[in-house]
Amino acid sequence: MKLIQKFSILFLLLFIFQNDKAFSNSDDEVLIGLNYVYDLKFDEAESVFKQIQKKYPADLKGYFYESLLYFYKALPSRDKSMLEKFTELSDNVIIKAEDILDKDENNPDALYYKGVSHSYRSLLLLNLNESLLKAASDGNEGYRILTELIRIKPDYYDAYMGLGLYKIALGFVPDKFKWLLSLIGFDGNIFEGMSMLKKSMNKGKFTVTDSKVFLCLFSLKEKEISDNTSLMLSKELSDNYPESPVFKILYSGMLLQSGHNSECIKSAEDALSLNKFSFQKEIVKSANALLGTANFRENNFAEAAIFYEESIKNLNIFDRFNVHIFSAGVAFELAGNRSKALEYYSKVRSDFINERDGEAEKFFYRYATVKLKNPITEIERADILGMNLRESLKLDEAIKEFEDALKQNLLMNASNDEKIRFYFDFGLTHVYKNESDKAVKLFEKCISIKPDNELWILPHAYFELGKIYDRQNNRQKSDDMFDEIFSYDDYDFKNFLEMRLANYLNNRN
């Protein structure tokens, strides 16, 4: 009898050891599947996740990561069938998690996969402009569960990514709405959210790469601030996943943002050469848009127009259509092909949805309709050339371009809209060159002008003045300038400016 008892105990211990080992092996297999995801090899990834489900049916990971594939498929395509499939699969994850929690209410894996499933549902519904009420409900549930998880198990590091994203997103909410967040129990804090993302990047198991992507995006600073964090993180992703076209696209975008046009072109071309698996249309669209903009920044307008055309061929109705169409039109016009430019200007759509399509669609619709009637003027051409040189960090050449325009009296017959655009772009060039006194004079010229259509430049000029006075340690004057921003309403890029202000104030010493 004792021998049987000893054998039973030995068998039980062996079973427990094998079960732990199996879950450890499932971790390794999940990481293999995620590597396929990052290389956009979705078929191979799905096969791995389904194998995990067969080998370890009690393990939630295989089910969750299969559902996540359809999140990734639905996000860029906005395909309703992909949304429905993701919802079906995530429902299954939540049900399985709840079954485990019925027996063990503090099971950390069940809490995590239930909470993060709700979080991804909320994110997808918001991005697809579906039920905002359902998105809020899922978001609230995900936030509550993940908060409880790290209270119970502070070293469950993957949970910090989801919470960090919540903290950052809510931290961008304007101050005048912060009371509402407090009322419903949410707390937004960009700095705290970034710290959580760093924790999941440095210590997480399955969220290391995703956290690095989000940190890359949220680490972008104002152009005059010397900070290469985003560029460095995107390069690490590109280097760590050399077969991934999507990380080549991300790195290309950060290179463009940093003024490195040639390197941007090289990385975009690498993305196209690797484009053999999932999301081929999206990669072609994104890479050609980057190639178009990089060439435009180099004032190579004929080449830019060709790349923009190729990008436009791959647009869908949910893309920022007018941005691409207007860019192509301007490139053709500056290359000397006004008839082709008119063809593109006439294609802009008026049936955009602000909540879905963003502020830029309305802005470029307005610009395109103006350019249909009026060709690009000499002062506008000079402004574009100077702006491109500035964004390419050729600051001395940019300043010379703006100064030459003044010497040629190109502003003499310019409209107030043309004048305020010119002074604003010239002022930004001096900001990039750390010539604050010259920048202040130009921004003060801006706020003395009453534009007909370019009202948006006035609050943006106050934002630039606020940053300058802040760097001069004149906090009171800086705050006065920032306060002026809120005296304007219903202007272009209002939401984006308020987000920039929130981010700047969060990083202010």
Identify which of 311, 287, 225 has the alpha carbon closest to the alpha carbon of residue 503: 225
Q: In this structure, what is the dihedral angle of CA atoms 462, 402, 329, 258, given to the nearest 10 degrees?
A: -70
Share of the chain above pLDDT 70, in %: 90
- Residue 12 — very low, low, confident or very high, per pLDDT cuts 50/70/90? very low
Question: Does residue 232 carry a pLDDT above 70?
Answer: yes
The predicted pLDDT at position 312 comes to 96
d(CA 316, CA 78): 9
Q: Which residue has the higher pLDDT, 89 or 3?
A: 89
Q: Residue 151 is encoded by which pair of tokens?
A: 């209270």
Asked if residues 130 and 157 have their Cβ atoms less than 8 Å apart, the reply is: no
DSSP state of 177: G
> What is d(CA 384, CA 372) in angstroms, rounded to the nearest whole number?
18
Q: How far apart are CA 497 and CA 482, in angstroms?
A: 11
Q: What is the pLDDT of residue 100?
A: 97
**Shortest CA distance to 208 belongs to which of 249, 169, 161?**
161
| Cα–Cα nearest to 465, from 442, 449, 489, 487 | 442
If pLDDT is split at 50, 70 and 90, which confidence band does 430 have? Answer: very high
For all residues of the chain together, what is the average pLDDT?
90
Comparison of pLDDT for 169 and 490, the residue scoring more: 490
pLDDT higher at 267 or 495: 267
pLDDT at 342: 98
pLDDT of 140 reads 86
pLDDT of residue 171: 73
The mean per-residue pLDDT over the stretch 152-171 comes to: 90
pLDDT of residue 178: 54
Q: What is the C-alpha to C-alpha distance for residues 316 and 307, in angstroms, rounded to an integer?
A: 17
Q: What are 292-340's pLDDT values in tens digits?
A: 999 999 999 999 999 999 999 998 877 888 999 999 999 999 999 999 9
pLDDT computed for residue 166 by the predictor:
84
Are 114 and 101 spatial neighbours (Cβ–Cβ below 8 Å)?
yes
8 A C-beta contact, residue 224 and residue 434: yes
Of the pLDDT bands very low, low, confident and very high (cuts 50, 70, 90), residue 181 is: low
What is residue 129's predicted lDDT score, i.e. its pLDDT?
72
